[in-house]
Amino acid sequence: MRVIQISFVLAWRNLWRNHRRTVIMLAAISVGAWAMIFMTALMRGMVNDMVRDGIRALPGHVQVHNPLYRDDPSVSNLIAMSDVELAERFSSAGIERFSARVRVPAIISSERESRGVTLLGVDPIQEQSVDAIGSTIVAGTGLDTAASNGIVIGRKLAEKLETEIGKRIVIMSQDPDNEVADRGFRVIGLFEANLAIQEEAFVFAGRQAIQEMLGIDDRVSELAVMGDDYRDVRPLLATVRQLMGTNDEVLPWNELDSYLGSMLAVMDGFVLVWIVVIFLALSFGLVNTLVMAVFERVREIGLMLALGMRPSGILLQIVFESSLLLIIGLAIGNVLAIASILPLRGGIDISIVAEGMEMFGASSILYPELQASDVVLANVVVLILGFFASLSPAWRASRYEPVEAITKV
């Protein structure tokens, strides 16, 4: 016990003997820790944003389809149950946030342009509950009922089609017999999404109007269900599977959109890699500092050994020294990171590079997200790896032959 105390005091004093070197090392560690935490928070923010956006881009947390629908999203592959039956079943099971949609590829045309889109026939009340894109109306009004004859399109799409609120556009798709099904709709509202690509991809119309146009009675092609947390959808998945039976395919969002799913998984691995890479750079500085400290004090160490300190005491002293360095450095780094993330809570506007960001589905405002587990991971990794890095110089110091060490010039 006494050895530990003495070693600790010696380590602390040694640390401040060459305070310039210590301060430089502390600066290096704290900047490293700051970089680990800050950059991780940025990446987290970006990925979470993408995932949440991706979920808003219609998958919901769990989705039900006809088993053939995902390979061939045509109007022939519908869910076995009618929308009325679905609504009844889910409401009575206590699930509140779900939306039964008709979702088919379609062509939208104005006088001057026509484009391929995904047509969604929705019940606006159900759709509101799942908070998907299309609910952020920026001009005009949203759909009022499932029987609505209007259509809501993206702001960007309206621009591309050279159309505007109050004008008619034509929607063309195919009915289950592969015949052209088309009709005119009046644009009643424009929605806004984080990504221009989504504003161009989706159009929303009343479910009944679309069912009538396609001649599919009251059937739908997709049922999206929202739970509480997108990170753990298993309980919800089980409930929905039970409600739907075996006729239809029930999948969680990370399987529906495997890009998003793997994105999230890759992110967790990436954080660790990022921390280790920064640490590797740091560790050279750390080991170098310790080696220098040992090298400078060869005679001193020899003297201590000659006076009867055990090699383990020397080892302890050096390890303490590095641990103190690491702990103080990390503490400063953590404070720095948190201090720099807090003012950025409101988001960082990176619209200058928005186009590039959109290409991989990220929006133009970056919200850094501090996740406790990331902070802990960074600190623990640095402490543990730092400890191992300092073992080598410490081991060397403890193995000096006292006589040789004392007489060394």
Partner 1 sequence: MLQRFLVLTLFLAASAFSAEGVDRTATEIVRDALNHWRGLSSQSEMTMTIHRPDWERSMSMESWTQGEKRSLVRVTAPRKDRGNGTLIDDNNMWTFSPKVNRVIKVPSSMMNQSWMGSDFSNKDISRTDDILEQYDHALLGKTELDGLTVYEIESIPHEDAAVVWGREVLFVREDNVLVEHRFYDQDGARVKTLRTLEFAEMGGRAVAAIQRMEKEEAPGEWTEIRLDSVEFDVELNSSVFTLSNLRNPRN
Decide if residue 139 touches partner 1 (CB under 8 A): no
- The Cα–Cα gap between 250 and 63 comes to 6
The strand pair at 114-122 and 168-174 is best described as: unpaired
Beta carbon of residue 183, minimum distance to partner 1 (angstroms, whole number) = 5
Contact region with partner 1 (CB under 8 A), list: 28-36, 46-54, 112-120, 297-305:
112-120
Q: In the set 22, 110, 208, 254, which binds partner 1 (CB under 8 A)?
A: 110
- The Cα–Cα gap between 49 and 230 comes to 12
Rounded to the nearest 5 percent, the helix, strand and coil shares of the chain are: 55, 20, 25
Decide if residue 116 touches partner 1 (CB under 8 A): yes
Contact region with partner 1 (CB under 8 A), list: 49-57, 161-169, 254-262, 288-296:
161-169
Q: Which is nearer to partner 1, 63 or 173 (CB)?
A: 173
- 154's tokens: 């993206």
Q: Any idea which residue has 């009340």 for tokens?
A: 125
Decide if residue 169 touches partner 1 (CB under 8 A): yes
Give me the DSSP letters along 279-346: HHHHHHHHHHHHHHHHHHTHHHHHHHHHHT--HHHHHHHHHHHHHHHHHHHHHHHHHHHHHHHGGGTT
Decide if residue 289 touches partner 1 (CB under 8 A): no
Q: Which is nearer to partner 1, 97 or 183 (CB)?
A: 183
Contact region with partner 1 (CB under 8 A), list: 19-27, 167-175, 291-299, 318-326:
167-175
Pair 221, 173: CB distance under 8 Å: no
Q: In the set 107, 264, 324, 336, which binds partner 1 (CB under 8 A)?
A: 107
Decide if residue 215 touches partner 1 (CB under 8 A): no
Beta carbon of residue 157, minimum distance to partner 1 (angstroms, whole number) = 15
- 282's tokens: 């740091």
Which burial class, exposed, middle or buried, applies to 240 when counting CB atoms under 10 A from its CB (0-12, 13-18, 19+)? Answer: buried
Q: In the set 18, 77, 82, 109, which binds partner 1 (CB under 8 A)?
A: 109
Angle at the Cα of 149 (from 148 to 150), degrees rounded to 5? 95
Residues 171-190 that bind partner 1 (CB under 8 A): 171-174, 178-186
Beta carbon of residue 68, minimum distance to partner 1 (angstroms, whole number) = 19
Pair 28, 285: CB distance under 8 Å: yes
Q: In the set 13, 17, 167, 345, which binds partner 1 (CB under 8 A)?
A: 167
Q: Which is nearer to partner 1, 110 or 254 (CB)?
A: 110
Interaction site with partner 1 (CB under 8 A)? 105-107, 109-112, 114, 116, 149, 163, 167-174, 178-186
